[in-house]
Structure 1
Amino acid sequence: MSVYSMTGFASGQQAVATPEGDAPVWKIAAPRVAVELRSVNSRFLDLAFRLPDELRPHEPALRELLTRQLKRGKVELRAYVEGREDAALTDPPPRALQRLASLQDQVRVWLPDARPLSVTDALRLAGGASASHTEDLGETLLTLAGAVLKDFVAARAREGARLADLLLARVAELRRLAKEAEPLVPQVVQAQKERFLARWNEALTAGDTQVNAEAGQERALAEATAYAIRIDVAEELGRLAAHLDEIESVLKKGGDIGKRLDFLIQELHREANTLGSKSAALEMTRISVDMKVSIEQMREQVQNIE
């Protein structure tokens, strides 16, 4: 299953089939329904619709269509109709035209300076224009919305694949840093043991007290052991590796994975912080900082995954 980004855009247009009655029809320009879908990241699925009044009754069907496909994101659907006024002209009823002429004559008796009716006025008032009431926009709107949604999901999948590649690259970087950190603890412990023995020998040389050399070795070993326990990061590195394995598994599985990835990123950050707090060497501190940088980059990408 694909990884989906919460960022996407798609649009489309489709002509409306205008029904033809008994009267002749002159199709000047077929009306068209246009749909746009766009989204950005959000914690939940937040749908917003920008529809003209004539399309507003179809909002529940559009909402159902989107919720079947989308899980998260702030999604806006905008739809409108183009070319409605001059879409198609039919012969106006003669009785309506007669009535309009009669009314115009009556008005001009009282208002001789009134402007005569234009052809557009006559067609509109006589109902000769292809009225929006006679066009079934619902079927066209839902068919087009389904096609745009398909393109929209595909666009989010393409962006999601790019995000997954970036996350996997960061996972590889964290594994490399963890591998660098593994041999550092034994090296630091050995150096600490040697420093302790050197100071012990200096104390023996400066003083008059005779102390068994074997006791010094035992004391150095005990001090080194206690020090190793304090700075041991094997457990943290093990948990970090487990979290990285889980991130790779989740990305491979795909689907609705954004929230789980967000939790895993928090756990990675926790382990990197612990590495820094236990750091007993400058190199370990650098590794911890580099890990935090990579994890923060992963967090930014995960915020856009559905």
Structure 2
Amino acid sequence: MIRSMTSFADGEILAGELVILCELRSVNHRYSDVSVKLPDRLRFAESDVRRLIGEKLKRGKIECSISYKKQLSTQNFVVNTAVVEKLLAATQQIAEHMSAPQAFSALDVLLFPGVQQENETDKESLREKIITLLDQTLNKMLATRTREGLQLAELIADRCLKIQQLVVAGHARMPEVLNNLRSKLTARIVELVAEPNYDRLEQELVLMAQKLDVAEELDRLETHVTEVLHTLKQSEPSGRRLDFLMQEMNREANTLGSKSADREMTQISIDLKVLIEQMREQIQNIE
């Protein structure tokens, strides 16, 4: 199954007094590059997060952000009175050295780091919630990547069909190319010598025909196209293999162009390279 590497998914889950939020973004990349952002309170689950992402996504630059927020309906403010007393004592000392001390409210004190105490959380229960949420979000991302992958596969298959048509046209054109070459060389030699050596001419024609024969390149292009269509149906990630096949197909198209002794065959070579480049651009985004 062909999958795109570009996608986005998000989700959230309730974990006690917390709402855990997850965002996943992925773009194309040659290898697997995973970055994870977690708040300190959830840092203990990072290895599990990376493991699950690695199991589900085999290739791409993947950014995973997991955060949390407290539910307002269940949020309890537990004040660390020891910290408050030290804070007030410190502010009083500072105020003694100020010409015009600034007043501050109880809310200012409440926002000071360490004044509010967070309830202890059951890490194992929280870990399970994080993994459940991440698994759900990854499945959403996989569904999106699969839908986009099917669209890419259709575009590539359509271009493969056009390449096959050009290969057929190239095979059909070859006899005419060789006949035209024979006629031109024969006429040229007749002009140059009064009694041409037709046996030698025939040998030269055979050698030149071998150099200009592109049947092998056309056959290999057909083989590569068949392999591309076969690869599109595979279940495992196949972006790298498809990229390799594009390199091979481009090499054959270039050779075809360099051997071309005919305007129509040159045009076939150009059309082939255009189609191959279009496929290569799409394949860069396949897992």
User: Which aligned runs of 4 or more in structure 1 are off by greater than 6 angstroms?
Assistant: 99-111
Aligned CA distance change for structure 1 residues 100 and 191 (closer, same or farther; 3 Å): closer
Aligned counterparts of 1:192 and 1:107: Cα–Cα separation in 2: 99
What SS does the aligned partner of 1:253 have?
coil
Q: How many residues align?
A: 277
- Does structure 1 retain, via aligned residues, the 8 Å contact 2:170–2:268? yes
Partner residue of 1:56 out of 31, 34, 43: 43
- Does structure 2 retain, via aligned residues, the 8 Å contact 1:10–1:37? yes
Deviation at 1:242, TM superposition (A): 0.7
**Equivalence for 1:156:** 145
Aligned CA distance change for structure 1 residues 132 and 81 (closer, same or farther; 3 Å): farther
Deviation at 1:191, TM superposition (A): 1.5
Partner residue of 1:72 out of 59, 62, 71: 59
Aligned counterparts of 2:142 and 2:64: Cα–Cα separation in 1: 13
Aligned counterparts of 2:188 and 2:41: Cα–Cα separation in 1: 89
**Equivalence for 1:24:** none
Unaligned 5+ segments in structure 1 are 19-30
Deviation at 1:43, TM superposition (A): 1.2
What SS does the aligned partner of 2:136 have?
helix
Partner residue of 2:238 out of 253, 257, 263: 257
**Which has the greater radius of gyration?**
1
Query: TM-score if structure 2 supplies the norm length?
Result: 0.83
- Does structure 1 retain, via aligned residues, the 8 Å contact 2:9–2:24? yes
Aligned CA distance change for structure 1 residues 174 and 15 (closer, same or farther; 3 Å): same
Deviation at 1:292, TM superposition (A): 0.6
Percent identical across equivalent pairs? 37
**Equivalence for 1:134:** 121
Q: Aligned ranges for residues 267-282 of structure 1 at < 5 Å?
A: 267-282=248-263
Aligned counterparts of 2:260 and 2:150: Cα–Cα separation in 1: 36
Aligned counterparts of 2:275 and 2:70: Cα–Cα separation in 1: 52
Partner residue of 2:187 out of 192, 198, 212: 198
Aligned counterparts of 1:172 and 1:138: Cα–Cα separation in 2: 50
Aligned counterparts of 1:221 and 1:105: Cα–Cα separation in 2: 107
Residue 177 (str. 1) matches residue 166 (str. 2): yes
**Equivalence for 2:8:** 9
Partner residue of 2:156 out of 150, 155, 167: 167
- Does structure 2 retain, via aligned residues, the 8 Å contact 1:13–1:34? yes
**Equivalence for 2:229:** 248
Deviation at 1:164, TM superposition (A): 0.8
What SS does the aligned partner of 2:260 have?
coil
Aligned counterparts of 1:42 and 1:101: Cα–Cα separation in 2: 50
Aligned CA distance change for structure 1 residues 197 and 104 (closer, same or farther; 3 Å): closer
Q: Aligned ranges for residues 100-139 of structure 1 at < 5 Å?
A: 117=106, 121=110, 131-134=118-121, 136=123, 137-139=126-128
Deviations 1:108-153 (A, max 9, x none): 9999x976746x949x9585xxx34236532222211110011111
**Equivalence for 2:26:** 39
Aligned counterparts of 2:166 and 2:83: Cα–Cα separation in 1: 85
Deviation at 1:37, TM superposition (A): 0.5
Deviations 1:254-292 (A, max 9, x none): 321111111111100110011001000011111111111
**Equivalence for 2:98:** none
- Does structure 2 retain, via aligned residues, the 8 Å contact 1:185–1:228? no
What RMSD, in angstroms, separates the aligned Cα atoms of the two structures? 3.4
